[in-house]
Structure formats: structure tokens, C-alpha cells
């Protein structure tokens, strides 16, 4: 697996800036009471940069991604994207933004329309954005090549492909309009380890070629370490630690990140042994 080594971001002019973001949902059975799925979150993503967002199930990772995409309500705070405040963007504005802001979901089996050919899946966003059939056809051929799928995929249905290949289709669809940012929500969690590595390598290559930025959401610190320039750690709706990927994943400061690191599975036997020793040391301290 390649380690990410793209350009360093400029924090003075980030592509995305999330400030004081709070997302509230009703507490079922508690009248008008709400709970904070995300509370007072601050983060930014530079041009051509990957921010890994890591935390355990239910910690609020997906909610941050959904708020950025306009799919979760912003109760307080702001989201600025490419110089504009998009916290409460209208549906029309969101449609305009969709060429710059895209998503790849976790499950490649449910995220693609099973009755559409891969060619139609990839051409759809281009058509919606007003592109001609000819433009769509040549763009689709380029996209298939970019994500390492054969040319004849164009006439085939998603069910004819493996999970990893379907995720390549989903990535190609996200790339169709040349976005500036892709929210990748657990894009490799449903895949086996070697397929995970190939998809992560593909995402890195695409970033180097196109300069796209990623918000990479995952529960797996090891996966996040490989793809991210910086990492933010979320615990019970609050960001508890942020920093350079190497620092956060090798020498975490917050006790929650330390626990996450010890719990994360690793395939390398040498690192497995290091982890076992670290766990023993951690247990003897507590
Ligand atoms: N639409 C919703 N209505 C009510 N509660 C929600 C909604 N979406 C998410 N939540 C709650 O918000 C909290 C954060 O959920 P979120 O999906 O962001 O977590 P996550 O870290 O992405 O977890 P996972 O990895 O399991 O997807 C959870 O308690 C979840 O049940």
C-alpha cells in the first residue's frame, strides 16, 4: 500500500472549513429534548489534502460528512466550502454544488442502481449537469480507465462485478464532474483486506493526478493512517484530537485515541507484536 505523500495544505485558505458545527436530533420519547450527534466540531481540509475522520460506531463521523453534504441538519455553527457558506444552502444551491462536492458510500452493493448499466450510472451526473451525450460517452471511457475498469464495463450491470469493482464504479461516478472534495464514508469497510489496499491506492493515485481533496471517514485507525495527511478523532460527538496523521496514529495524546489505536487490527506481524506489548503496558498502568 502506498503511503500518502501529496502536497501540504495551506491552513490560511482551506477548501473546507467547519466551525462550531453542532447537529441535534430529537431524543425519542423525551418530548422536545434533543441530543447532540455532533457538538461544536471544528475542522478544515486543504486543497489536495485528505483529512481522516476516525471514531467508533455511533461517534458522529457519518453525521459530520452528511452535514457537509447537506443531508444532516446544521443546528449551530457554519460550513464554508470554497469560499461560500453552505451551512443552510438551498436545494438549488446544493444541485450547483454537486459538481464540486461528491460522496462515495460504504456499501458498493446498495449504492449503485442495480437496473442501470455502468455506462448509464457514470453518464447520469454528466447529463444532469447539462453535458451532451457525446461528451458523456468520452468522459465515461476516460473514467473507466482512470479507475482501472475494462472498457466493456460500460454495457454491464453492477451485479456482474465484485465488491471492489463496484466500489471503483462508485468512485468513477463521484469523479464524473471533476469534484474538489469527495466525502468517502467508510469506502473500504465492506471489502476484504487486499481489495481495501487496492482501493486505497487508487484513491491516492487519483488525488495525485487530479488534486481532489478527501474527507475520509472510517472506524479503522490503520486504514486512515495510510490515506490521510491529517487525522481528526471523534468521540461521542466531540472532536477530541487532531493533527498530522503520523503523530495522531503513532503517538496519540488523547486517552480515547490511545484506546482506539490499541484496539485497531493490524496485519503486519511485527506491528502485531508491538501492539500486544503496548496493550500489556497499558493494562498494567490502569
Ligand atoms: N437521522 C437521525 N436521526 C436520529 N439520530 C441519528 C440520525 N442519524 C444519526 N443519528 C444518531 O447520531 C449518532 C451518530 O451517528 P453517526 O451515524 O454519525 O455515527 P458514526 O460514527 O458514523 O457511526 P457508524 O460508524 O456506526 O456509522 C448516533 O447515536 C446515531 O444513532
DSSP 14: -
Q: Which atom of ligand 1 is nearest to the CA of 64?
A: 18
- According to the model, what pLDDT value does residue 268 have? 61
Cell readout for 263 is: 484496539
Residue 206: which H helix or E strand, with range?
Answer: helix 193-210
The whole model's pTM is what?
0.89
Q: Whose CA is nearest to atom 12 of ligand 1?
A: 37
Q: Whose CA is nearest to atom 29 of ligand 1?
A: 58
- According to the model, what pLDDT value does residue 267 have? 56
The b/e string for 69-106 (b: 16+ C-beta within 10 A; e otherwise) is: bbebebbebebbbbeeebbebeeeeeeebbbebbbbbb
How confident is the model over 141-156, as pLDDT tens digits? 999 999 999 999 999 9
230 CB burial (10 A radius; 0-12, 13-18, 19+):
buried
Give the separation between CA 46 and CA 206, rounded to whole angstroms: 16
Look over the chain and give the mean of its residue pLDDT values, rounded to a whole number: 89
* Residue of 27, 34, 37 best suited for mutating to test ligand 1, as the one with most atoms within 8 Å of CB: 37
Cell readout for 135 is: 461528451
Cell readout for 260 is: 482506539
Give the separation between CA 199 and CA 183, rounded to whole angstroms: 15
Instruction: Confirm if 174 and 102 have CB atoms less than 8 A apart.
Output: yes
Give the separation between CA 116 and CA 5, rounded to whole angstroms: 37
Cα separations in angstroms, 188 against 55, 114, 148, 194, 243: 15, 20, 16, 10, 23
Give the separation between CA 268 and CA 110, rounded to whole angstroms: 32
Local confidence band at 1 (pLDDT 50, 70, 90 cut-offs): very low
12-21, 108-117, 150-159, 256-265: least confidently modelled range: 256-265
Q: Which of 260, 181, 186, 241 is nearest to 217 (CA)?
A: 186
Report ipTM (2 d.p.): 0.96
Q: Whose CA is nearest to atom 5 of ligand 1?
A: 25
pLDDT at 56 over 90: yes
Higher pLDDT, 199 or 107: 199
Q: Which atom of ligand 1 is nearest to the CA of 26?
A: 4
How confident is the model over 237-250, as pLDDT tens digits? 999 999 999 999 98
Amino acid at each position: 500500500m502506498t503511503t500518502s505523500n501529496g502536497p501540504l495544505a495551506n491552513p490560511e485558505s482551506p477548501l473546507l472549513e467547519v466551525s462550531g458545527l453542532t447537529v441535534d436530533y430529537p431524543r425519542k420519547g423525551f418530548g422536545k429534548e434533543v441530543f447532540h450527534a455532533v457538538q461544536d466540531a471544528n475542522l478544515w481540509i486543504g486543497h489536495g489534502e485528505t483529512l481522516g475522520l476516525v471514531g467508533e460506531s455511533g461517534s458522529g463521523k457519518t453525521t459530520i460528512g452528511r452535514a457537509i453534504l447537506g443531508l444532516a441538519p446544521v443546528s449551530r455553527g457554519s460550513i464554508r466550502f470554497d469560499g461560500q457558506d453552505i451551512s443552510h444552502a438551498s436545494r438549488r444551491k446544493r444541485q450547483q454544488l454537486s459538481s464540486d462536492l461528491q460522496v462515495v458510500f460504504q456499501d458498493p452493493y446498495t449504492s449503485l442502481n442495480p437496473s442501470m448499466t455502468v455506462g448509464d450510472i457514470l453518464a447520469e451526473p454528466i447529463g444532469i449537469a447539462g453535458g451532451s451525450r457525446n461528451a458523456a460517452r468520452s468522459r465515461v471511457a476516460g473514467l473507466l480507465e482512470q479507475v482501472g475498469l475494462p472498457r466493456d464495463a460500460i454495457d454491464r450491470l453492477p451485479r456482474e462485478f465484485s465488491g471492489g469493482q463496484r466500489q471503483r464504479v462508485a468512485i468513477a461516478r463521484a469523479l464524473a464532474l471533476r469534484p474538489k472534495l469527495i466525502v468517502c464514508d467508510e469506502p473500504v469497510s465492506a471489502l476484504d483486506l487486499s481489495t481495501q489496499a487496492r482501493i486505497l491506492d487508487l484513491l491516492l493515485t487519483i488525488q495525485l493526478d487530479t488534486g481532489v481533496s478527501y474527507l475520509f471517514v472510517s472506524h479503522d485507525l490503520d486504514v486512515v493512517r495510510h490515506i490521510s495527511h491529517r487525522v481528526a478523532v471523534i468521540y461521542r460527538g466531540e472532536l477530541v484530537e487532531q493533527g498530522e496523521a503520523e503523530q495522531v496514529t503513532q503517538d496519540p495524546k488523547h486517552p480515547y485515541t490511545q484506546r482506539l489505536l490499541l484496539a485497531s487490527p493490524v496485519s503486519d506481524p511485527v506491528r502485531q507484536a508491538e501492539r500486544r506489548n503496548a496493550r500489556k503496558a497499558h493494562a498494567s498502568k490502569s
